[in-house]
Amino acid sequence: MTTIIANTQTNHRARSLFLLVVAAASIGLLVVLRPLIQAAALPELHPVPRVDLDIKYQVLALALALVNLLITYVLFPTNFRRFARMGNSQVHPVPVKVLGINAKDTWRGVGINFAVVITLVTSVFLYLNVLKGDLSAVGSAVIGFAPFILIFAALNAFTEEAITRFTVVVGFEGVVPRSAVVLISALLFGLPHYFGTPGGVVGVLMAGFIAWLLAKSIQETEGVWWSWFIHFLQDMVIFMAFFAVL
């Protein structure tokens, strides 16, 4: 019996590591996907080059995310079904006093608080570094590109949450301590943001912290709502800023 349990645990770890390799490779592909699309000279889908590029990117990235989710389900069907839901926002979080997260709080309160704070921080960063303190074009960008901003933000949040958060939480639940799982997600999501927006070391730290928090939310609520929603808000203000400077 001991041998069977040991073999099962070893097999579980092997599947977890395989899933991590798949996720890491997928993130690597996402980093270079836009240049690959541009080099491929695919048929034009929209007259605005940035919109055209993002349509192609989001469709291909979504397909990659679905492949990751399929592999995750095949390898870990029980954990997949456990976490593939909205989650329970009334549960109490594991306290993190330095962040003001207390045991008496609920994830509803924690989620709302961090959704507001993180979105404000992202907005200030974009205002200073992308918009250069000029908000004059934001209104026209929102009016002219609102459907694309919302759809791209929703799809991008889904794709990145599926690959860097959901698969990690599902694949490593019960294999390593939960504190290690959230760090794996933070590294997987944070490091590629060295080349993103925000970028550099600041981008890595910001993205890594968000990844840690959102992975924690999936673990503790046993669902993806807060993870996706907070990510969606960040992507929404990012796309608003990008379209404002077209």
Q: Which residues of the chain have pLDDT under 70?
A: 1-9, 197-198
pLDDT attached to residue 8: 53
Say whether the peptide bond before residue 93 is cis (omega within 30 degrees of 0): no
What span, in angstroms and rounded, lies between the C-alpha atoms of 121 and 198? 11
The domain tally of the chain equals: 1
For residue 162, the enclosing domain spans 2-244
pLDDT attached to residue 2: 42
Query: How close are the terminal C-alpha atoms of the chain, in Å?
Result: 64
CA distances from 122 to 11, 15, 97, 149 (A): 41, 36, 23, 16
pTM: 0.93
Q: How many residues in the chain?
A: 246
pLDDT attached to residue 29: 96
Torsion of CA 226, 74, 173, 204, to 10 degrees: -60
Hey, how many other C-beta atoms are within 10 angstroms of the C-beta on 100? 12
Characterise 132 by phi-psi region: left (phi > 0), alpha (psi -120 to 50), beta (else).
left
